[in-house]
Amino acid sequence: MKTESAPSRTAQLTMSRGLTFLIALACGAVAANIYYAQPVVGLIGPDVGLSTSAYSLVVTLTQIGYGVGLVLLVPLGDMFENRRLITVTLVACVAALLGGAAASTAGLFLAASLVIGLSSVVVQMLVPFAAHLAPDESRGRVVGNVMSGLLMGILLARPVSSMTTDLLGWRAVFAISAGLMLVLAVTLRLILPERRPSTSVRYLALLRSMGQLLVGTPILRRRAFYHALLFGAFSLFWTAVPLILASPACGLSQVGIAVFSLAAVLGACVAPLAGRVADRGLTKPATAFAILTVVACFLLVFASGGHVVAVLFVAALLIDVGVSCNLVLGQRSIFALGAEVRSRLNGLYMAIFFCGGAVGSAVASVVYATYGWVGIAWCGIAFPLLALLYHLTDMVPRRPATAG
């Protein structure tokens, strides 16, 4: 078996802008699979026989599958040859998407949704793989570029799904994506360099080691806590904002809401800049900036009263900038901890902040129904303020220990 060091040296020599772009494109295309169903679930449900009350299961099962994959599949990147693992997972994604496109019953479509989410964690195999390929001095820039592609895919998925459905029907969305996944599987298999981890640990021991990594890695816990709170605020905002935009106060159509959501695409463009800042050793001040940007978003939300679309657009841009920056800063920090545990660290990081996002989504409709847009503003401010208070403990210089 090859050692870790030899493939790493070869990978660094073969890293290029073209390869970075390919991995970023693959991440964006795969991540989009998680969100294609969201804007068209009202069409999918009746077609496959889902009751109205069960529509949300389509989105929920996809997210559950993704969360399970983060814990059970992503760590395999520290155990198996990465290129083969990525290819096999993409092929599973192709099969799931084709199953979703062809499903005629609710059970079949929901099963396909679960596997679509499970196999879409290939994006979190590709991100640490890109970090392996990058030299130490430019790892933040490379991760930032790849994450920019991933975020673009997430943010463009909904409008692309809506437009494709309007032209060709919802089944075409899944069928077209299946074809794209197959092309990516073949392309990545041919182009990616081989990487064989040096570890020989068994799978159950690998999973058990994740608990040890969480307990024994303070920077992982800190960065995951920051981003769980910011991603919770992000989910809160983007779950609630369509409600106010569609209300009489703003009066936007579904097309208008889709155009509004493109603000998030602009925010994703800052991810490469965050990586460059991290490469210069400025992670702590950049983290403070990211957190304060999210605070500023909800201050604008509060000031606007939720009735000024232009102000809400600026708020959307701010929260996307803050969350995108902090995500890259966090991954840059944990990827510097060691190549042999990089996939497990990434799986833990993503799983923890994914839980924060789930909390934000869950409370959004309750807070909005009970307290309105002002309640959303105050709840949204609370999330990043907690992160800021914790971050301040990392900004204070620590006194050296003294004897006696």
Q: How confident is residue 10, by pLDDT bands cut at 50, 70 and 90?
A: very low
54-78 pLDDT, tens digit each: 766 777 788 788 888 988 888 888 7
Query: Helix (H, G, I), strand (E, B), or coil: what is residue 335?
Result: helix
Residue 260 clears pLDDT 80, i.e. is over it: no
Domain match, 287 and 340 both? yes
User: Is 399 a residue whose pLDDT tops 60?
Assistant: no
Among residues 145, 174, 198, the one where a domain terminates is 198
Helix orientation angle between 17-31 and 170-191, rounded to the nearest 10 degrees:
150
Other C-beta atoms closer than 10 Å to the C-beta of 135 total 14
Domain count, the chain: 2
Separation of alpha carbons 9 and 275, rounded Å: 22
Cα dist. 114→57, 61, 346 in Å? 10, 5, 21
Give CA–CA dist 160/182, Å, rounded: 19
Model confidence band, residue 235 (pLDDT cutoffs 50, 70, 90): confident
Q: 162 and 120, same structural domain?
A: yes
The predicted structure's pLDDT at residue 306? 63
Do 158 and 232 belong together in one domain?
no
Q: Which long-range contacts (CB under 8 A, 24 or more apart) does 45-53 make?
A: 47/170, 48/103, 48/104, 48/105, 48/106, 48/108, 48/109, 49/105, 49/106, 50/106, 50/109, 50/110
Of the residues 198, 223, 245, the one at which a domain ends: 198
Q: Which range, 97-101, 196-200, 252-256, 280-284, is most confident? A: 97-101
Counting every residue, how long is the chain? 404
How far from each other are the two terminal CA atoms of the chain, in whole angstroms? Answer: 51
User: Is residue 1's pLDDT more than 50?
Assistant: no
| pLDDT recorded at residue 201 | 72
pLDDT for 263? 65
Residue 402 within any structural domain of the chain? no
From residue 224, how far is each of 18, 73, 267, 395 by CA, in Å? Answer: 30, 19, 21, 17
Query: Does residue 400 register a pLDDT over 60?
Result: no
Residue 180 banded pLDDT, cuts 50, 70, 90:
very high
| Domain identity same for 387 and 238 | yes
| Same domain, residue pair 151 and 300 | no
Q: Which CATH number covers residue 152?
A: 1.20.1250.20
The percentage of the chain sitting over the pLDDT mark of 70, rounded to a whole number, equals 89
Q: Which of 140-149, 284-293, 343-352 has the lowest mean pLDDT?
A: 140-149
What pLDDT is attached to residue 4? 42
Q: Which residue has the higher pLDDT, 358 or 290?
A: 290
| Residues 193, 278 within the same domain | no
Same domain, 174 and 266: no
The gap from C-alpha 71 to its chain's centroid, in whole angstroms, comes to 14
| Distance in angstroms (rounded) separating the CA atoms of residues 70 and 337 | 19
Residues of the domain holding 260: 201-396
- Would you place residue 336 in the very low, low, confident or very high pLDDT band (cuts 50, 70, 90)? confident
Say whether both 163 and 233 belong to one domain: no
Q: State the DSSP code for 401.
A: P
Tell me which of 201 and 35 has the higher pLDDT. 35
Q: What residue has token string 């890259």?
A: 328
229 with 253, same domain: the answer is yes
The answer to whether residue 315 sits within a structural domain is yes
pLDDT-derived band at 179, boundaries 50, 70, 90: very high
Please tell me whether residues 191 and 255 are part of one structural domain: no
**The pTM is what?**
0.74
Residue 2 lies in a domain: yes
Check whether residue 106 and residue 213 sit in a common domain: no
- Among 144, 167, 198, the domain boundary falls at 198
- Predicted pLDDT of residue 199: 67
Are 151 and 189 within one domain? yes
Longest dimension (CA), the chain: 76
Cα dihedral 130/318/152/210 (nearest 10): 40
Q: Residue 350: name the closest of 67, 144, 150 by CA.
A: 67
